[in-house]
Amino acid sequence: MYQVKFITPIIISLLFSSVLLSGCAEKKTDEVMIQEQITVLQKAIESHDRGLFMDVIDEQYQDQLDNNQKTLQRMLMGFFLRYKDISVYASATQINVQQIRAEGDSQVVVTGGKNLIPESARHYQVHSCWKKVSGEWLLSCLEWK
């Protein structure tokens, strides 16, 4: 009985401390949240997960080829059918946030192939536009060279 009386206050104080500490957790910056979304896009492409990819795309998405959200989804399907193995490497991402809008510039290399050995590799300079919707950053435009 002594052990139960002694352990109960310890458990309660540990739970209370964890609640207090979770409230003090550092809030993610917008730049970090956008970088995480870029990572989600990379992983979605590499795993051929069209749904996960499209979850990060804004309803009003537009790119330099005049693709919108629907045509981007179709283009992505074709890309996944053509290449069994896809790898995406993004580096040197610079993000500039202005309230609910942001822009990013990245260097991206994409490789693809039907087997383990890539049949093609391309380097792109990518400019992205982001929009904050309900606290989540979504990709709203894309340009690449």
Domains, the chain, in order of start with CATH, read 29-144 (3.10.450.50)
H-type helices in 24-139, by residue range?
A: 30-46, 50-54, 69-82
Share of the chain above pLDDT 70, in %: 79
Per-residue pLDDT band for 117 (boundaries 50, 70, 90) equals low
Q: Is the pLDDT of residue 3 over 50?
A: no
Cα–Cα distance between 84 and 118 in angstroms, integer?
10
**pTM confidence score:** 0.77
